[in-house]
Copies of this chain bind each other. A is one copy, B any other.
Amino acid sequence: MKLSWNRYGKASVRLVKVDRGDGLHTVRDFTVDVQLEGAFERVYMDGDNADCLATDTMKNTVYAFARQHGVETPEAFADRLAVHFIAQHAVATATISIVEHRWARLSVGADAHPHAFVQPGADEWTTVVTRSATRVSIRSGLRNLVVMKTTDSGFSGFPRDAYTTLADTSDRIFATSMTASWTYRQGAADFSLRERVRRTLLETFAAHASLSVQHTLYAMGRAVIDACADVDEITLSLPNRHHLPVDLTAFGLDNPNEVFLATNQP
């Protein structure tokens, strides 16, 4: 028996890097895979791990490099990691794969927003019409509108009980996949209003000084009701996509709110 597939690695390291220069933030959002190939016979055959770099170490390296060297093009960032890993003793070849997720700067009126972003195009329009002999209800909406703001969002003053470990924060990332639906006033017939609803939601998200997800959710709903007389009622869902600042102190690095592990939690 011959060992012919002597490779292993770490998949799906979710890295978000924010640069905050001058208040005009930029965001890079990567999913990184690391694969090492080499003379790992002793690892596989004997259970001797002296040449087996832990996949956890690979993950740490991705986050530390993002802080130390910055995130330039995915090609250059991938190669920087590859150069690092082939210096390992048993490694013959390193393969770094990156998927870059696109973010566009949100526009407010004619202006590009300095720290609010949207994933272009993924959202879809929804409509539910319910009709009986005597009544019709028209509910329209949108789903999967993915947005992020890299500052102007905090969460503090919440209750602390025996199970509370979360620290107060006055500056965190706020990212969410927005779902909204609203009911039209009886008789309303201009459904192109949905464009104004969408714009109002985005602009309020961008502008709001957020003290919690709920706080911004309410402000967004309120803004739509105020801006659109034909909207009777609106329901919003803003599930938090947590972005956890990575603790880099073990590597002698600080992390001034720049390097995040992105979770895609519902």
Contact = CB atoms under 8 A, between A and B. Distances in A.
Interface of A: 1, 3-5, 8, 11-12, 40, 43-57, 60-61, 64, 73-76, 78-79, 81-83, 86, 88-89, 92-102, 104, 119-133, 136, 138, 140, 143, 155-159, 161-166, 184, 191-192, 210-215, 217-218, 221-222, 225, 233, 235, 239-240, 250-252, 265-266
Contacts of A133: 86, 92
Contact of A60 (B3, B82, B88, B165): B165
Name the residue among A40, A44, A102 with the largest chain B CB count within 10 angstroms: A44
Given A53-B158, A74-B140, 17 more contacts: A12-B265, A44-B214, A50-B159, A52-B159, A52-B214, A54-B164, A57-B166, A74-B125, A74-B191, A76-B191, A79-B129, A82-B129, A86-B133, A95-B130, A96-B128, A100-B126, A162-B251
Taking each of A12, A45, A130, A233, which has the highest tally of chain B beta carbons within 10 Å of its own beta carbon? A130
10 contacts: A1-B222, A12-B265, A44-B218, A75-B129, A75-B138, A78-B127, A92-B132, A99-B143, A119-B121, A120-B120
Contacts of A265: 11-12
A47 B102 contact: no
A56 B239 contact: no
Contacts of A94: 130-132
Contact of A1 (B79, B96, B213, B225): B225
B132 A86 contact: yes
A124 B120 CA distance: 11
A38 B266 CA distance: 21
A98 to B, nearest CB: 5
A251 B121 contact: no
